[in-house]
Amino acid sequence: MKMNVCVIDDDQIYQLIIRKAVERAGVYDSICFYNDGSEAFEDLLNSKKVLPALILLDINMPQMDGWQFLDGLIKHRPDFDRETTIYIVSSSIAFSDRTKAESYKQVSGFLSKPLSVEKLKEIALKHQK
C-alpha cells in the first residue's frame, strides 16, 4: 500500500519541485501541501482528521515555524506519532537545528534540502508496512 505524503513549507518553488520529485519516485499515493505551520496546525488539530502517513516539515516559516507546529501537535494530539512519520526538511545546515530535531522522539530524521528522488524512495521503503 502506497503512503500518502504531506509537505508543510512556505517556499512555493520548493513545493513545485517536491511535487515533481514525489511523482518521479512513484512510491507515494498522494501529496498535499500547507503553506505555513499555522495552516497545517489548524487543519490537523482535529483528532478526527486522519493524519497523512508521512509529513515533511520545514523549520523556517513566517507565522508558525516547524518547532511551534510540532509543540502544538504534541500538546493537542499526544499520540500522533503512532499515526504518522515526521521528517524535518530544511535548507538549514545549522548544527543546532539538527540537534534540536534529534531531541524530539516524534521526529524520525533531519533531512537537508534538496531532497532527491532516491531519498524519497528510501524513506517510503523504510516506513512502508
Q: What is the nearest approach in angstroms of another protein to the Cβ of residue 30? A: 20
If the CB atoms of residues 83 and 118 are measured against another protein, the closer one turns out to be 118
Is residue 62 reached through a cis peptide bond, with omega within 30 degrees of 0 on the bond before it? no
Nearest to 3 by CA among 31, 24, 23: 31
Nearer CB in complex with another protein: 68/81: 68
DSSP assignments along 6-55, one per residue: EEE-S-HHHHHHHHHHHHHH--EEEEEEESSHHHHHHHH-STTSPPPSEE
**Measured from the CB of residue 60, what is the shortest distance to another protein in angstroms?**
6
Contacting positions for another protein (CB under 8 A): 11, 13-14, 16-17, 20-21, 24, 60, 62-64, 68, 90-94, 112-117
Instruction: Give the burial class of 104: count Cβ atoms within 10 A of its Cβ; 0-12 exposed, 13-18 middle, 19 or more buried.
Output: middle
Q: What span, in angstroms and rounded, lies between the C-alpha atoms of 115 and 95?
A: 18
Cβ 83 to another protein, closest distance in Å? 25
Nearer to another protein, 63 or 128 (CB): 63
Minimum distance from CB of 66 to another protein (Å)? 12
CB nearer to another protein: pick between 78 and 114: 114
Q: What amino acid occupies position 86?
A: I
